[in-house]
Amino acid sequence: MCGVIGICSKSNVSTSLFYGMNSLQHRGQEAAGMAVYDGEEIRRTRSMGLVIDAFTEEKLRELPGTIGIGHVRYATASGSHDYNIQPLMGFIGGEMIALASDGNLVNYQILRERLEEEGMMFQTTSDTEVILYLITRYYDGDIVEAIKKTMKVIRGAYSVTALVKDKVVAFRDPHGFRPFVLGRDGDDVIVASENAAIEIIGGEMTRNVEAGEILVIDGTGIHSDRFESEATARNCIFEYVYFARNDATLDDINAYTFRRRCGEILWEEAPCDVDLVVPVPDSGIPSAIGYAQAAGIPYGEGLVKNRYMGRTFIKPTQKEREMAVKLKLNPLVDVVKGKSIVLLDDSIVRGTTSRNLIKRLRDAGAREVHMRITSPPVAYSCYYGIDTPNRKNLIAANQSIQEIEENIGADSLAFISLEGLAKAGKKDVSEYCTACFDGDYPVDPTLI
Ligand code: 5GP
Ligand code: MG
């Protein structure tokens, strides 16, 4: 899981890229990188850490140029190495190319082994390098043709921005798993994972980069091409459940509206007679508002969030995860004492968050703690870029809802139905990728 941005402008872009990347920070906090073309060569800066730590004003000044791309990288359990920080760079027809991707290729290992047998030396352990390598291999003077040939070979999820000489190139896999939008600011053209990156720099989102679409953007405008495939769009539903910002309007559905509706639908599906509706901040807030309004029950902030923690989901050990939840959220005794409450969260993955919060809310004096979750049980691993752990660590892959209810110590527990979830997005279940909930994988993950 990552965030990407590309800008083609008439003025310097490094500062705009910096702001845009900041607004995509929720998509990845491990590392950040930027590549800018100055008319002669591509310069690049990459660093571990948050965007704000990775780039000083001085560093931005060292990246002059009117066309550039940026990337924020998500921390995964597989460890972080500076050689994996994107954008990656190479040479194509004797010119420099820089490339960054959000998503995950399911046939990365197979392709890598094949390429290694052929004598290719890899410099990273990132699947983005396979994309870069294949494009340069297939390049014969026509970048779109090279991308089409690459798209024939790679399988899985990818929203890619690349800098090819004086052009920004953007392409999205035929299922459109990961989000990707296009916008304008006057004559400037911007592509980004989410619209906030466009709006923050003064631009306006104009449309989605379509599933299977290839865009070439330069001083003459936007040229759209299409990779022909049998696949139909299957946008990741977990982007709406959890990952995207509330202000993200992805494939024509706004994440905040989606989340509120989930709360309303969950009230219809699993009502609860309590004094107070409490969100698990921040991800549970819109759905708790929806639930409370539909129910006519007061909404109350029963947990205080430490804003300086970042996303702490992927800590290597269970002990660290428990401590992280404690540090991140603390019960507000004055609000919950003596009350029966229903707690709203977007998902249960390992169960760490719910178990910990329910216990501490009871310690803080809550009389009853019910739990309502605005996604179905996460029972399958994601192979398309969401960092769900191995199935053996997914509580819902191993326990029934009844068992989970006991395990987390809730007075009652209910999950929204898959149909209810899809209804919140005003689409049919089959129009989304719902593999993490039902194991229906649009691209065969056994290719791994
Ligand atoms: P659990 O504690 O059950 O393992 O995880 C559930 C919590 O993690 C929920 O509060 C949810 O908002 C959050 N969460 C779910 N998926 C992700 C993810 O991909 N990344 C991060 N950082 N948090 C997640
Ligand atoms: Mg959460």
Q: Provide the 10 A C-beta neighbour count for residue 120.
A: 13
Specify the 3-state DSSP secondary structure of 133: helix
Cα 183 to Cα 85: distance, rounded to the nearest angstrom: 26
pLDDT at 129: 97
Query: Does the pLDDT value for residue 313 go beyond 60?
Result: no
CB 147 within 8 A of CB 214: yes
315: pLDDT confidence band, cut at 50, 70 and 90? low
Specify the 3-state DSSP secondary structure of 264: helix
Atom number, ligand 1, closest to the C-alpha of residue 351: 3
* 47-to-55, 64, 209 alpha-carbon distances in Å: 8, 18, 28
Q: Whose CA is nearest to atom 9 of ligand 1?
A: 347
Query: Does the pLDDT value for residue 4 go beyond 80?
Result: yes
Atom number, ligand 1, closest to the C-alpha of residue 325: 2
Q: Whose CA is nearest to atom 5 of ligand 1?
A: 349
Cα 331 to Cα 362: distance, rounded to the nearest angstrom: 9
- pLDDT tens for each residue of 81-132: 889 999 999 999 899 999 999 999 999 999 999 999 999 999 999 999 999 9
pLDDT at 390: 87
Substitution site in 73, 347, 413 for ligand 1 pocket (most atoms within 8 Å of beta carbon): 347
Q: Whose CA is nearest to atom 22 of ligand 1?
A: 313
Cα 51 to Cα 247: distance, rounded to the nearest angstrom: 20
User: What spacing in Å lies between the alpha carbon of 361 and ligand 1's midpoint?
Assistant: 19
Q: Give the ligand whose atoms come closest to the C-alpha of residue 311.
A: 1
* Residue 390 burial (10 A CB sphere; 0-12, 13-18, 19+): exposed
Q: Average pLDDT in the 303-319 region?
A: 76
Substitution site in 349, 354, 371, 388 for ligand 1 pocket (most atoms within 8 Å of beta carbon): 349
- pLDDT tens for each residue of 267-306: 999 999 999 999 999 999 999 999 999 999 999 999 999 9
- Which of 447 and 122 is assigned the larger pLDDT? 122
The proportion of the chain whose per-residue pLDDT surpasses 70, expressed as a percent, equals 97
Q: Whose CA is nearest to atom 4 of ligand 1?
A: 350
62: left (phi over 0), alpha (psi -120 to 50) or beta: alpha
Atom number, ligand 1, closest to the C-alpha of residue 313: 22
- pLDDT tens for each residue of 33-54: 999 999 999 999 999 999 999 9
CB 404 within 8 A of CB 371: no
Residues with a catalytic annotation lie at 2
pLDDT at 237: 97
323: pLDDT confidence band, cut at 50, 70 and 90? confident
Query: Does the pLDDT value for residue 79 go beyond 80?
Result: no
Substitution site in 305, 313, 321 for ligand 1 pocket (most atoms within 8 Å of beta carbon): 313
Q: Bridge partners of 235?
A: 432
Q: Provide the 10 A C-beta neighbour count for residue 423.
A: 16
Q: Average pLDDT in the 168-182 region?
A: 98
Atom number, ligand 1, closest to the C-alpha of residue 356: 2
Here the tokens at position 329 are 């959220």
Query: Does the pLDDT value for residue 448 go beyond 70?
Result: no
Q: Whose CA is nearest to atom 23 of ligand 1?
A: 313
Lining ligand 1 with CB less than 6 A are: 242, 280, 283, 311, 313, 345-354, 386-387
Query: Does the pLDDT value for residue 316 go beyond 80?
Result: no
* Residue 428 burial (10 A CB sphere; 0-12, 13-18, 19+): exposed
Query: Does the pLDDT value for residue 377 go beyond 90?
Result: yes
Atom number, ligand 1, closest to the C-alpha of residue 387: 19
User: What spacing in Å lies between the alpha carbon of 240 and ligand 1's midpoint?
Assistant: 13
What's the mean pLDDT when you consider all of the chain? 94
Here the tokens at position 168 are 């920004």
pTM for the predicted model, two decimal places:
0.95
The proportion of the chain whose per-residue pLDDT surpasses 90, expressed as a percent, equals 89
320: pLDDT confidence band, cut at 50, 70 and 90? confident
Query: Does the pLDDT value for residue 77 go beyond 80?
Result: no
Phi, psi angles (nearest 5°) of residue 237: -75, -20
User: What spacing in Å lies between the alpha carbon of 299 and ligand 1's midpoint?
Assistant: 22
Rg (CA), the chain: 22
CB 88 within 8 A of CB 126: yes
User: What spacing in Å lies between the alpha carbon of 64 and ligand 2's midpoint?
Assistant: 39
pLDDT at 206: 98
Strands (E), 139-187: 159-164, 167-172, 181-185
> How would DSSP label each residue in 383-410?
SSS--PPPGGG-HHHHS-HHHHHHHHT-
Query: Does the pLDDT value for residue 328 go beyond 80?
Result: yes
Contacts of 171 (CB under 8 A, 6+ apart): 147, 151, 158, 159, 160, 209, 213, 214, 215, 227
Lowest mean pLDDT among 115-119, 386-390, 438-442: 386-390
Q: Which of 417, 396, 432 is nearest to 268 (CA)?
A: 417
Q: Give the ligand whose atoms come closest to the C-alpha of residue 352.
A: 1
Q: Average pLDDT in the 435-444 region?
A: 96
- pLDDT tens for each residue of 199-234: 999 999 999 999 999 999 999 999 999 999 999 999
